[in-house]
A and B are shown apart, each in its own frame.
Chain A
């Protein structure tokens, strides 16, 4: 219990007649790096919404560092140490890069010193863009900015939703290396949703597979790659070959 960063039990999310998530139970230990994969519409993003307070789950419990938070507002999750990015970057488009990071620091970070602002900007390779209006940046840059903003809140649990979307394979590798490095630097627990399965499998400690709102499999990358259910549901020929 003490070593669990995120503990989800019987999580369900229903939108009208649609069951976006049903009975998902999962545990992420402190310092663990977990990848979440699954076909489109499998409920990955809904899962993130439910464990960051953006949506209130219709059933089940969400524990962050031991305390039950389901039903609480996103700022309660932030205070508990959860930071996230969104599939479509949600930055403050009218503000500059620096203002965006400062915003996250100002409200999300109660302990740190302001030096962290510059540090995370450098680490996410946004040095030259401090004064740029965030809304005018290309999507890939906005994703980097979201990571910088998340880090500025000094999180314990970092949730990344397709931060490498739309990148070439080489760039995806760069992002994976960046995340792995940030995880070491800040001692983070990371959950990463990504479609670039090959890179993800090489980077993470563990993989959870969602399908039709249910947890289909949960294990090491090697186990997942060998799991016939996963192969038939999602991976298909890509990994088999």
Chain B
């Protein structure tokens, strides 16, 4: 754990130099990488461990975005990010209380439907109460501030993932993912565990949304609640391997770079390649990129068998 923390700190210091090293293009790309890292790692923290497939990321992200759009004038930047996260976490608690007894596809479809519900509610409120279809953000913080915020959120997501997985909450979520009813027979309060886990993961989606809001100067429900962000997050986490933090980070970086390169050259092939990648992953590496045992692939002689025998003896 100590080496892990120092590694994270080192990565933070090195990456914090980004604004002085990168061009605007690369800085923006790095921000996308970090955004999807934070989203996918926090998604994996709950959905990867409990196997409750949440499609609520878009809704949670959008709620954060709208928190910024509405409270920008009233709150300083760091508080704005925290508030965006809290709005989403609160929403997740309410929604979770209503739908977390459902499993599998029912849960997935409901979380997706709730996102749509939020989007339409906000569209309606904006039109009838505020008489507007979108909001223009003025006086946004600098690109550097945004970069450092995303970096901080991505690292915080990774550290939280690590701390949670070693904690009682993480154990309980693992038990729920393996066999929820059985975990309950051992005294796990499954309802409270799922609610806390879901809300914690939601905080990150909201905070990331709150930060990213300033990247677009014009915010309307259509772009803030774009389902693509939610789907991309789930795809990235699954392609990377949703039971680790490493997998989602690797996949977030890989896919962000790939998609940008492809989007510039073949704007339509990008989604096709993403789809093919997902199919390949599900078929051949159901545990994701992180589950590939590189040592076994490249050096069969040094495989785990020998070590296994030693342990057994």
**B185 and A103 contact, CB distance less than 8 A:** no
Q: Does A142 contact B (CB under 8 A)?
A: no
- The total number of A-B Cβ pairs within 8 Å is 64
**B311 and A131 contact, CB distance less than 8 A:** yes
- The B141-192 residues at the A interface (CB cut-off 8 A) are 168, 171-172, 174-175, 178-179, 181-191
**A149 and B186 contact, CB distance less than 8 A:** yes
A52, A74, A149: most-surrounded residue (chain B CB, <10 A):
A74
**B185 and A52 contact, CB distance less than 8 A:** yes
Interface size on B, residues (CB 8 A): 20
Of A73, A78, A106, A108, the contact of B171 (CB 8 Å cutoff): A106
Classify the secondary structure of B's interface with A: helix
**B179 and A107 contact, CB distance less than 8 A:** no
**B184 and A103 contact, CB distance less than 8 A:** no
Of B171, B178, B187, B191, the contact of A153 (CB 8 Å cutoff): B187
B168 to chain A: closest residue by CB: A106
Of B179, B182, B187, the contact of A79 (CB 8 Å cutoff): B187
**B181 and A107 contact, CB distance less than 8 A:** no
Of B175, B187, B191, B311, the contact of A92 (CB 8 Å cutoff): B175
Known contacts: A103-B171, A103-B175, A131-B311. The answer to whether A90 contacts B182 by CB under 8 A is: yes
Of B168, B178, B187, the contact of A93 (CB 8 Å cutoff): B178
A104 to chain B: closest residue by CB: B186
Known contacts: A103-B171, A106-B171. The answer to whether A74 contacts B179 by CB under 8 A is: no
Enumerate chain A residues within 8 angstroms of B188, measured Cβ to Cβ.
75, 107
Q: Give complex CA distance A90, B214 in Å.
A: 49
Enumerate chain B residues within 8 angstroms of A90, measured Cβ to Cβ.
179, 181-182
Given known contacts A94-B178, A103-B175, what 6 new A-B pairs fall within 8 Å (CB)? A52-B185, A103-B186, A107-B171, A107-B186, A107-B188, A131-B311
30 contacts between A and B (CB under 8 A): A52-B185, A54-B181, A54-B185, A73-B190, A73-B191, A74-B181, A75-B184, A75-B186, A78-B184, A78-B186, A79-B187, A83-B185, A84-B185, A90-B179, A90-B181, A90-B182, A92-B174, A92-B178, A95-B174, A103-B175, A104-B186, A107-B168, A107-B171, A107-B172, A107-B175, A107-B186, A107-B187, A108-B187, A132-B312, A153-B186
B interface residues with partner A (beta carbon < 8 Å): 168, 171-172, 174-175, 178-179, 181-191, 311-312
Question: 10 closest A-B pairs (Cβ-Cβ)?
Answer: A74-B184, A108-B187, A78-B187, A107-B187, A74-B185, A90-B182, A92-B178, A108-B186, A104-B186, A107-B188
